[in-house]
Amino acid sequence: MNEILMNMGAEKRDRIINSALMEFSKNGFKKASTNKIVVEAGISKGLLFHYFINKKGLYDHLEKFSIETVMKNITDKLNWDESDFFERVKQIVLIKIQVTAQYPYIYDFMIKTYENMTADDIFEYRENLSPGLLQKVYTHNIDYSKFKDSMDIKKVTQIIQWSLEGYGKDFYDKLQKTKEPINYEELIEDFEKLICILKEAFYK
Amino acid sequence: MNEILMNMGAEKRDRIINSALMEFSKNGFKKASTNKIVVEAGISKGLLFHYFINKKGLYDHLEKFSIETVMKNITDKLNWDESDFFERVKQIVLIKIQVTAQYPYIYDFMIKTYENMTADDIFEYRENLSPGLLQKVYTHNIDYSKFKDSMDIKKVTQIIQWSLEGYGKDFYDKLQKTKEPINYEELIEDFEKLICILKEAFYK
DNA sequence: ATGCAATTGACCACTGTGGTCAGTTTTGTT
DNA sequence: AACAAAACTGACCACAGTGGTCAATTGCAT
What does the pLDDT look like over A61-109, one tens digit per residue? 999 999 999 999 999 999 999 999 999 999 999 999 999 999 999 999 9
Torsion of CA A140, B162, B22, B119, to 10 degrees: -130
**Rg of chain B over CA atoms, in angstroms?**
19
What's the confidence (pLDDT) of residue B118? 87
State yes or no: pLDDT of B1 exceeds 70: no
Residue nearest to nucleotide C17 (CA to C1'): A33
Nearest by CB to A193, from B155, B163, B177: name it. B155
For A147, list phi and psi in degrees, rounded to 5.
Answer: -80, 150
Nearest CA in chain A to B177: A118
Mind spelling out the 3-state secondary structure of chain B? CCHHHHCCCHHHHHHHHHHHHHHHHHHHHHHCCHHHHHHHHCCCHHHHHHHCCCHHHHHHHHHHHHHHHHHHHHHHHCCCCCCCHHHHHHHHHHHHHHHHHHCCCHHHHHHHHHCCCCHHHHHHHHHHHCCCHHHHHCCCCCCHHHECCCCCHHHHHHHHHHHHHHHHHHHHHHHHHHCCCCCHHHHHHHHHHHHHHHHHHHEC
User: What is the C-alpha to C-alpha distance for residues A133 and A67, in angstroms, rounded to an integer?
Assistant: 12
A197 CA: distance to closest CA in chain B (Å): 6
User: What is the C-alpha to C-alpha distance for residues B15 and A197, in angstroms, rounded to an integer?
Assistant: 45
Residue A55 is inside which H or E element, if any? helix A55-77
User: What is the C-alpha to C-alpha distance for residues A171 and B141, in angstroms, rounded to an integer?
Assistant: 30
Nearest by CB to A165, from B118, B151, B166: name it. B166
A27 touches strand C (CB under 7 A): no
The parts of chain A modelled with pLDDT lower than 70 are 1-4
C1' nearest to CA of B46: which nucleotide? C8
Q: Which residues of A, range 2-41, sit inside 8 Å of B by Cβ? A: 27, 31
pLDDT band at B116 (very low <50, low <70, confident <90, very high): confident
Decide which of B2 and B93 is more confident. Answer: B93
pLDDT band at B173 (very low <50, low <70, confident <90, very high): confident
**Rg of chain A over CA atoms, in angstroms?**
19
Q: Quote the pTM value.
A: 0.94
User: What is the C-alpha to C-alpha distance for residues A181 and A176, in angstroms, rounded to an integer?
Assistant: 10
End-to-end CA distance of chain B: 47
Residues of chain A contacting B200 with CB distance shorter than 8 Å: 148, 150-151
A120 touching chain B per CB within 8 A:
no
Q: How many CB pairs under 8 A join A and B?
A: 68
